[in-house]
Structure 1
Amino acid sequence: MNIDAGVVKHPRRLAVVFSCEQTVYSPLLADESHLDNTYDMVLTNDGDRSQLVHAQYDIKQPSRLVRFATRFRLTTEDQPMMDVVEKAHAFVTGNYGQGDQVTLYVDRNSDRFLDAAEMLAKHLYNGTRPGDPLKVQPNNGGKVRLKQIPIQWVMPLLNYLLKQKLIMMLELRCGPWYVQRLGEKSSVSERNDELKSRFPPGIEHIICWGDGNGFRSCATKYDADGGMISREMCISRGDSYNELRRYCTKHVIYYYEARIPKWDNDEPVWTHKLDSSPADVQAALPFEVTKPLGMYLHELRKYQHLPGVRGDGSTLVWKSYRSAGEYP
């Protein structure tokens, strides 16, 4: 389960977090003595693994009058959303330096959080400010265009349990992020692909996971042209202490070392490799996996007795990649 082997240099990371947890990212938790921090993120600008975090815990709904006007396309103004995006944009552009990596972290099911992350990503990609058109204009009227800032990772949390409880109410009110148009449940890999279509090009990693009714995660790495380099999916009964969550995202978020699962040297109880043509591989894929187009090397592993994993600690890991040298 070694994801980030060979990494030597640790770039500084800027993380923009849209979260419902108002105590997770308090500056009081910025040292390893406070291990009640749910996500255990590093919160310091010093040291070998420096990371700055900007958190937004709530995005208020616009007034009823604005919502009414928006419904009839009389206005597109959403001031609460704009305020949130402006603050996040100022954090990134004010702190970004050459070599820094930017992560957008969307925690919990919320259209508002995801819309804010999408808007922020587009402004950073286009080099525009919130309030400016999201599409780059040939003639910007003399305004100085900001430097484009690449987004390395987008990590949304998919709460499967919440979706299953509210699926009938959400079906008519939200798009394919929660449910497909016909009301069918989409897999975590399909949602990963939906995110890629929503966000601007150039994102290196997209990671999705859900922790209701069992834990499922999908981490996809892309090349500069948007082609898929690799995909890893994990399936288990559950994530008791956020161990799986931290493990599947430890190569994109800095966590305190004491809280990162030490599973890299664990041997699987069995391994099955497939390197045949896509047609031969399709029938052998796990039920939750959507085979990445162009992926020709596949590996299925089963682990047992992993600490923090519910039941007997069993975890199924499916890896797909273009060649042996391209898997991270």
Structure 2
Amino acid sequence: MSNLDRRPPARELGGRDATPAGPVLDLLPGKEVLLGESTRVRRLLPTLGRRMVGAWAFVDSYGPDDVSGGAGMQVAPHPHTGLQTVSWLLAGEVHHRDSLGSDVRIRPGELALMTAGHGIAHSEQSPVPHPRFLHGAQLWVALPDAARETAPDFAHHTALPGFSSDGLTATVLMGSLAGATSPGTAHSPLVGVDLDLAAGADVEVPLEPDFEYALLTSSGSASVEEAPLERGTMAYLGTGRHTLRVRAAEPSRLLLLGGEPFEERIVMWWNFVGRSGEEIAEYAERWNAEDERFGAVLGYDGDRLPAPPLPPVPLRARGRVR
């Protein structure tokens, strides 16, 4: 999925300097963003107060939206570098095409993992016809320096591991939890888990104390360590936790994200992750020139998205928080 902001700010992210040495419970305010022609999303990372959680650098949550009367998701071909996109649907269907020739329908409970590496382009659309509701999350994982120039790749996993216990059904998207390991390839220590809670569930979720974590409420509502967490909000949990107590009075879906604090400093602008403003400017110039670095998305009927103008001011370090 693309960041369609026509005036995206440039951010320097990463480093351990602002990582708490122990548990915290900070509510992260998101903001509503129009994605494409009709899809509104809640952007939860980067946001005021927190820019990364482990290697997770971008989180959009959307829906549930009734798209029966419209085109649904319509995101034209756009580029990525230096990151992985993780697509997770709770309802609906998304048609993914990319410059590797991938042409895939993504459905609820399936993992679509695209590794941009050196460079890739893709489009995302609701198919015709499409289901009535669209609900899910789109996430980016920053690639460490050793992997950021890797060859692009796309993997579609239709079956994912997990476990059930005391009203909780957990599905592991990335990394490992409680002995269940995702087939998705990660390039740094991280985890992403969908937590499906029945009404009345009261569970202890095992965590890695060296990881930092955040918890997003996709639907319903829950309490996290006795603090309420409403739909569409995310709580940053810090580090140093061995377990996390989660309760739900109603059926709820949560997304647990975590990982080792990302030591490297990165620059993220529009749909690119690099290491300097000069790199980002080169990516944008090459995309607008239709350079072969990104390839072409075949089968999409329409124009691709041009890179917006670069910011008029030099990049400055902002760290993990603001």
Larger radius of gyration: 1
User: What's the TM-score bracket when you normalise by the shorter of the two chains?
Assistant: under 0.3
TM-score (norm 1): 0.27
User: Which structure dedicates a bigger proportion of its chain to helix?
Assistant: 1
Greater relative CO, 1 or 2 (CA 8 Å, sep 6+): 2
User: Which structure dedicates a bigger proportion of its chain to strand?
Assistant: 2
TM-score (norm 2): 0.28
